[in-house]
């Protein structure tokens, strides 16, 4: 009877210790992932040396769209006229 209690105590102790080590390992992995994510966020906040940060407001975007639409309609008219002359 004493041997059974001693063996169960040993097994439970080993399970507790292994659970502690597994938890510690996961904690280290989570900590590494957090550091990777924070460094990635910091890198995204600061623009790289070679890139030029661009900020387009709504009026600039509207002007670009309008010029693109006008250019597209002008080229289509020119294409129709060139097809008619052929």
Bigger pLDDT: 83 or 21?
A: 21
In this prediction, residue 67 carries a pLDDT of 80
Per-residue pLDDT tens over the stretch 15-34:
999 999 999 999 999 998 88
- Here the contacts of 74-78 (C-beta below 8 Å, separation 24 or greater) are none
CA distances 58 to 46, 67, 70, 71, Å, are 24, 14, 18, 20
Bigger pLDDT: 7 or 44?
A: 7
Give the confidence band of 81 by pLDDT, cuts at 50, 70, 90.
Answer: low
């Amino acid at each position: 009877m004493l041997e059974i209690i001693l063996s169960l105590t040993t097994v439970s102790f080993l399970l507790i210790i292994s659970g502690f080590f597994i938890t510690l390992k996961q904690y280290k992995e989570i900590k590494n992932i957090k550091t990777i994510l924070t460094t990635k966020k910091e890198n995204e906040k600061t623009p790289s040396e070679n890139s030029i940060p661009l900020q387009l407001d709504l009026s600039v975007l509207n002007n670009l769209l309008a010029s693109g639409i006008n250019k597209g309609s002008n080229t289509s008219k020119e294409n129709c006229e060139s097809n008619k002359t052929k």
